[in-house]
A and B are shown apart, each in its own frame.
Chain A
Amino acid sequence: MPSNVFQRIYTKLEAITKATVTLRAEGVSNDELALVAGRLAQVVKIKKDLVTLQVFAGTEGIPTNAEVEFYGEPPALNVGEQLSGRFLNAYGEPIDGGPKVEGERRYIGGPSVNPFKRRQPSELIPTGIAGIDLNNTLVSGQKIPFFADPDQPYNQVMADVALRADVDKIILGGMGLSNDDYLYFKQKFEDAGALDKIICFVNTTEQPPVERLLIPDMALTAAEYFAVDKNEKVLVLLTDMTLYADALSIVSNRMDQIPSKDSMPGSLYSDLAKIYEKAVQLPSGGSITIIAVTTLNDGDITHAIPDNTGYITEGQLYLRKDTDTGKIIVDPFRSLSILKQLVINKKTREDHSQVMNTGVRLFADAANAKTKLENGFDLSDYDLRCLDYAKEYSNRLLSIDVNIKIDEMLDTGWELFRKYFKPEELGIKQSLVDKYWNR
């Protein structure tokens, strides 16, 4: 990566921690890269001539007389059409045995889009999964994570969503991906014959954790190239952002920063926002949509990572196992797509919002009935109908193995309402009942 004419070499480290080294050097600029004993590092603190570097690969075995060479520039990625179909590591170097990527050099983590120049996201991204399309519709330019426990099949669902979505490029940023999952994604993309529109930046669990910090910026720099320069629709997949945040806390800890909640750095919100806010609908037609994964610790969303994420992203999707049907469903209660209002009833049928809300409310009534049942109370006729409805609703609409068109989802909704309920039990606008009840 270095291409500088001037490279001053230093050979005396003043201090070494697990993630950082400190030395005396001059003319060093903030954020610039350096090579410390052959390992990539970045300037994170300067105090007079004392420079602290964060060593991405960790400092194991680095001696105090290690050679330090400054690059004079921040981390960068070569961008160009050549990126398509490539598998790269956190530094943007090939891991697929292919040649180096040639192209224009761009610094990663660049400036933000002027909010006034943004366009309002308005294009629906259909996925065929009713738990998403019907209840939590995705829109291009949106950023939304899966909140999932580690044992849930979030990577599979995400891969399905990506391959079904109508986009020009899919960019995967894998952080702390297990080797098995990395190979799964690779295989799945190959099987779909979609390799030409895929770019992967991968850091597996075998690689040092601090390297992960580069992955989202690398993936999003590539995304900005295709969305801004080529006016393409780009979908970025980031998995797993919890491991990214863990890496942040490691670095801030080594730099003696005072931790805030859950031993996370106080800047966690801004750090995550910088990544997620790259999602954008551009005036030229290009867009960046981000689907991420935030793994939870036993479903705890009050932990600082999912909590801060929730405030940044435009909704969140939860997966859970429905014990009645044995299937994995998209949880209709806790999942939310904030941007769905921009397309529902506008890009979809006029009855969409009412079918969606009623469907979920009845599912909630069924959950109450179930609690009653568990507490040993008698169920009313309405309760019993709700329970039957819930089973079919879960099976035919919420389950992640569903793959149908949105109109079909709406028709299925009406079919279930008709089968189990009377119109006055639904509270739907009369004009819609008149039109769709007997269809």
Chain B
Amino acid sequence: MKTTGKVTGIVSNLVTVEVDGPVAQNELCFIDLDGTKLMAEVIKVNGANASVQVYESTRGLKVGCNVEFEGKMLEVTLGPGLLSSNYDGLQDNLATMEDVFLKRGEYTPALDADKKWDFSPIAKVADKVVAADWLGEVKEGWLPHKIMVPFSYEGEYTVKSIASEGSYTINDTIAVLTDSKGEEHKVTMCQKWPVKVAIKGYKEKPRPFRIMETGVRAIDTFNPIAEGGTGFIPGPFGCGKTVIQHAIAKQAEADVIIMAACGERANEVVEIFKEFPELIDSRTGRKLIERTTIICNTSNMPVAAREASVYTAMTIGEYYRAMGLKVLLLADSTSRWAQALREMSNRMEELPGADAFPVDLSSIISNFYSRAGIVVLNNGQTGSVTFLGTVSPAGGNLKEPVTESTKKCARCFYALSQTRADSKRYPAIDPIDSYSKYLEYPEMEEFFNEKMEQGWVSKVLAARNITLRGKEAYDQINILGDDGVPMEYHLRYWKSELVDFILLQQDAFDNIDCQTPLKRQEYMLNLVLDICNKDYHFERFEKCVSFFKNLINIMRQMNFSEFQSPEFEKYKEQLHNTVENAL
């Protein structure tokens, strides 16, 4: 028997319900408003009164409306067909809704139940299996999508039968498993899982040990993010957070991209809807959309579902990780999710923490970030979820609760600087404030020595040092004047400008410059360092300025040219001559 109840109070989307039976924290319920069922989640229970947050507008709701509890938490459906789908925060398929406007109470199935998938078995009859072990696979686009023993299965099972090669729908039985008591369980190609619970079913979670390539020089070269690592991008509005995220989504060397547009602008998501089905992934030659799932709860969609959207995205990410795939999860922006928490906490009249955010904000955020990571599966293969979130700090001030809480748990910090954005130095990732803890990992250093070249990390640090010293010199020049400082200061400053213009700045809208493969990054870093390591003597600082301006101009043309093309080599030649002449 389901627990039922009646509405007794309403403040915006916080509704109190008097219940007639047991209810669980985070349990789902439906409120009946003249036949329209509004989904809601229990967030507090006090005696027979349950406070629920409604995932829809509560306009027209009355005291006395009937409520039915579902006996389960918010779940997502996992199975083939998730990729290239467009969901809202509750995993309703946005593409199959008919109306131009979102209708409240309209819930659409996440997966197509009629579509047939070509299945081939992996497990054999009599195999011993546990949760998350692979039973078979289907081709989802070009990706091998593993059909696994449901994550909720506890203990060891024996494969009694497994479907032969052929096409099946997601609800067809593809295997029968027997548990230790001899009971039989039918397994289909889809399963459900509560979003707020992390999917385990792996052997171990080692420290990240290799890079997740993004094609963005300011990230890969200067502050690399590890596969299975975590990072965040805080920045005031207008600094290009979304441009960076989109660039990474297009270029990153991942098998699966999950984008959670959480409480942000709808037009940004529209850009993905429009571009991803057209853009080609240069690594696989397939359409970008084929490896992408979009979870979209834009700022005007119901606030409570915003929180759900990041969890939905993470759960889908963990599902693909269990298949041994490299997943990149992007969430824009986690601040909006924190604000959704704040709105509810406020309506429940909880005692507020800093800036009226709930006091447990920090633990909620770190718990979420901890779900990312590279894992070794039961069969020895690896899978990973790399998580990169944006943060929108109020007033651009990084001393605010969401940024501070995130800084405690994310390992890469990409600070976007207003000054850089104002002077159109994009990406506006601040070279001095930003950091990647992964550069300090010995296993990462080892990896770079092999993948790039011996001593790579110290080269990166040398380039960082040039920008730092350049900034100090610039401050001195500003105080003492061009003629008041030794020539050395001008040299230092202009070397840092060279690093800035050629390595850090990157034109996200130029077809070639937008994506720089690691090999090219290595080449350019060496080229810039070589130039910076030479001794120059100028009589007047004007000469120094025009020399470096000239270098920057030539090297920018190199960045705009196909790598090692005749055009590229021509500019390189020109560069070489210019440098030689100055020595």
- A residues neighboring B (CB under 8 Å): 26-32, 44-49, 74, 107, 109-121, 141-142, 228, 257-261, 265-267, 269-270, 273-274, 277-278, 280, 282-283, 301-304, 307-308, 310-312, 314-316, 333-334, 336, 338-339, 341, 353, 357, 360-361, 364, 371-372, 375-378, 380-382, 424-425, 427, 429-430
Question: A115 contacts which chain B residues (CB < 8 A)?
Answer: 94, 266, 269-270, 273, 296, 298, 301
Q: Mark B322-365, 1 if CB is under 8 A from A, else 0.
A: 00000000000000100110110011010010011000000000
B339/A269 in contact, CB under 8 A: yes
1/0 per residue, CB under 8 A from A, across B241-270: the answer is: 000000000000000000000010111011
**Partner pick for B342 among A29, A48, A142, A266, CB 8 A cutoff:** A266
Q: Are A310 and B339 in contact (CB under 8 A)?
A: no
B residues near A118, Cβ cutoff 8 Å = 266-267, 270, 273
B58 to chain A, nearest CB (A): 5
Q: Of A228, A277, A303, A310, which one neighbours B299 at CB under 8 angstroms?
A: A277
**Chain B residues whose CB sits within 8 angstroms of the CB of A258 once the complex forms:** 346, 349, 352, 356
Residue contact B267 to A111, C-beta cutoff 8 Å: no
Across the interface, A113 reaches (CB within 8 A) one of B62, B266, B560, namely: B266
Rounded to whole Å, the gap between the CB of B56 and the closest CB of chain A is 9
Chain A residues within 8 Å of B12, by CB: 44, 267
Contact mask for chain B residues 36-62; partner A; CB cutoff 8 A; 1 contact, 0 none: 000000000000000000000111111
Q: Provide the residues of chain A in CB contact with B183, threshold 8 Å.
A: none
Please, which residues of chain A bring their CB within 8 A of the CB of B267? 118, 120-121, 141-142, 314, 339
Contact A361-B238, Cβ < 8 Å, known A266-B342, A277-B299, A302-B397: no
User: Contacts A116-B296, A257-B346, A378-B483 given; 15 further ones with Cβ under 8 A?
Assistant: A28-B63, A47-B8, A48-B8, A112-B266, A112-B300, A113-B101, A116-B95, A261-B355, A266-B343, A267-B303, A269-B336, A273-B300, A308-B394, A425-B549, A430-B557
Task: Give me the interface of B with A, judged by CB distance under 8 Å.
Answer: 8-12, 16, 57-63, 86, 94-95, 97, 99-104, 236-238, 263, 265-267, 269-271, 273-274, 296, 298-301, 303, 336, 339-340, 342-343, 346-347, 349, 352, 355-356, 392, 394-397, 422-424, 478, 481-484, 509, 542, 545, 549-550, 552-553, 556-557, 560
B481 touches A372 (CB 8 A): yes
Q: How far is the CA of A107 from the CA of B59 in the complex (A)?
A: 11
Which of A310, A425, A427 is B238 in contact with, Cβ under 8 Å?
A310
- B356 & A111 in contact (Cβ 8 Å cutoff): no
Q: Are A29 and B424 in contact (CB under 8 A)?
A: no
Closest B residue to A380 by beta carbon equals B542
Asked if A45 and B10 make an inter-chain contact with CB atoms under 8 angstroms apart, the answer reads: yes
Complex partner residue of A274 from B94, B300, B343, B509, CB under 8 angstroms: B300
Distance in angstroms between the alpha carbons of A378 and B484 in the assembled complex? 10
- Does B356 contact A259, Cβ atoms closer than 8 Å? yes
B10 CB contacts on chain A under 8 angstroms: 30, 45-46
Interchain Cβ contacts under 8 Å between A and B, 30 examples: A28-B62, A30-B60, A30-B61, A30-B62, A44-B11, A46-B62, A113-B100, A114-B94, A114-B100, A117-B97, A118-B266, A120-B274, A257-B347, A260-B355, A265-B346, A266-B346, A269-B263, A270-B299, A270-B343, A273-B300, A274-B299, A277-B298, A302-B394, A307-B395, A316-B238, A333-B422, A364-B423, A375-B478, A380-B482, A427-B552
The answer for the CA separation of A199 and B288 in the assembled complex, in Å, is: 44
Is the beta-carbon distance between B424 and A277 smaller than 8 angstroms? no
CA distance A30 to B104 in the complex (A): 15
Contacting residues, chain A, for B99 (C-beta < 8 A)? 114, 117
Asked if residues B270 and A283 are in contact (CB atoms below 8 Å), the reply is no
Q: Is the CB of B62 within 8 A of A424?
A: no
A112 to B300 alpha-carbon distance, docked (Å): 7
CB distance from B151 to the nearest CB of A (A): 29
Pair B423/A114 contact, Cβ less than 8 Å: no
Chain A min CB distance to B17 (Å): 12
Does A114 lie within 8 Å of B97, measured CB to CB?
yes
CB distance from B449 to the nearest CB of A (A): 35
Bound-complex Cα distance A118 to B102 (A): 12
Q: Nearest Cβ distance between residue A338 and chain B, in whole angstroms?
A: 8
Checking B100, B303, B478, B549 against A270 with a beta-carbon cut-off of 8 angstroms, the contacting residue is: B303
Q: How far is the CA of A255 from the CA of B75 in the complex (A)?
A: 35
Whole-angstrom CA separation of A377 from B1 in the bound complex: 84
Chain B min CB distance to A101 (Å): 23
Residue of B103, B271, B396, B553 near A427 (CB, 8 A) is B553
Decide if B9 touches A48 in the complex (CB within 8 Å). Answer: yes
State whether A112 touches B301 (Cβ < 8 A): yes
| Contact assessment for B339 and A120 in the assembled complex, using a CB-CB cutoff below 8 Å | no
Q: Which of chain B's residues have a CB closer than 8 A to the CB of A338?
A: 238
| In-complex Cβ contact of A336 among B238, B296, B550 (8 A) | B238
Known contacts A111-B103, A427-B552; is-contact A334 B298 (Cβ 8 Å): no
Q: B11's closest neighbor in chain A, by CB?
A: A45
Which of B303, B346, B481 gathers most chain A CB within 10 Å?
B346
A75 to chain B, nearest CB (A): 10
User: Once bound together, how far apart are the Cα atoms of A430 and B342, in whole Å?
Assistant: 52
Chain B residues closer than 8 Å to A49, beta-carbon distance: 63
User: Which residues of chain A have C-beta atoms less than 8 A from B549's C-beta?
Assistant: 424-425
Tell me the smallest distance from the CB of B66 to a CB of chain A, in Å.
15
Across-interface contacts of A301 in B (CB, < 8 A)? 395
Residue contact A353 to B395, C-beta cutoff 8 Å: no
